[in-house]
């Protein structure tokens, strides 16, 4: 899975195994960052028609708030996107959501949910919800849940599930300028360029290899 832009990134795994309409997970910043977008895993391809996604965020932990719609902020609505297929990253278009500032030490819950389809992949894991699943020097991704779409998307919860995807973000150094990366075409971290005023896209992945499905993907 090659990077599709000049982005920093960190993989966790891509193993899939289960699917439903959506998935929740947590992020914790280890330095100030702006989350700019996400990539996710779906077996759907362009020939299968479009997917429509909503994205929600909550300050602090998502645990205990999985079905409390009123506590979440919707940051993107009805994002129309064609899938890239099994084992590939499907990117939410740049600009589809506002940048989410997460300061050093802060945490946010993220919920990505698909309307009308149950084609978002995630994986059952041994770690408890809220434990660190993947991390780099900038942020952590925390174990979350699979989620069924009911009402506005806050339906049945399947705990200890790990979202298959990437968090894409900008690094904000103490000097205030964003960092830029020159080349990530081979999918590995490259040396960091000096601070300049061009935004850096960086992302951290969970997993992508799918494998099992049903209407609830427990």
Question: How confident is the prediction along the chain (218 residues), in pLDDT tens digits per residue?
Answer: 544 444 667 676 778 899 999 999 999 999 999 999 999 999 999 999 999 999 999 999 999 999 999 999 999 999 999 999 998 999 999 899 999 999 999 999 999 999 999 999 999 999 999 999 999 999 999 999 999 998 789 999 999 999 999 999 988 877 655 655 543 322 322 233 333 333 445 556 666 666 555 544 55
3-state secondary structure of 84: strand
Note the pLDDT of residue 194.
32
CA angle 163, 125, 137 (to 5 degrees): 60
Beta bridge partners of 18: 122
3-state secondary structure of 69: helix
Comparing C-alpha atoms, which of 152, 154, 128 is closest to residue 26?
128
Distance CA 52, CA 56 (A): 14
Note the pLDDT of residue 92.
94
Distance CA 35, CA 33 (A): 6
**Statement: the pTM of the whole predicted model exceeds 0.85:** no
């Amino acid at each position: 899975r090659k990077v599709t832009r000049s982005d920093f990134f960190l993989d966790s795994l891509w193993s899939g195994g289960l699917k439903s309409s959506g998935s929740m997970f947590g992020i914790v910043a280890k330095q100030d960052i702006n989350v700019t977008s996400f990539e996710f895993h779906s077996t759907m391809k362009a020939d299968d028609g479009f997917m429509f996604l909503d994205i929600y965020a909550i300050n602090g932990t998502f645990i205990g708030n999985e079905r409390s719609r009123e506590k979440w902020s919707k940051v993107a609505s009805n994002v129309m996107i064609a899938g890239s297929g099994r084992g590939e990253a499907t990117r939410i278009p740049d600009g589809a959501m506002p940048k989410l500032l997460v300061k050093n030490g802060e945490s946010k819950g993220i919920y990505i949910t698909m309307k009308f389809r149950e084609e978002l992949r995630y994986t059952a894991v041994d770690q408890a919800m809220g434990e660190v699943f993947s991390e780099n020097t900038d942020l952590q991704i925390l174990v979350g849940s699979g989620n069924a779409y009911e009402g506005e998307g806050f339906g049945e919860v399947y705990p200890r599930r790990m979202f298959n995807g990437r968090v894409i973000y900008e690094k904000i150094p103490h000097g205030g300028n964003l960092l830029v990366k020159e080349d990530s075409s081979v999918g590995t971290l490259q040396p960091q360029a000096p601070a300049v005023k061009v935004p850096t896209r960086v992302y951290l992945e969970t997993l992508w290899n799918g494998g099992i499905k049903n209407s609830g993907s427990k």
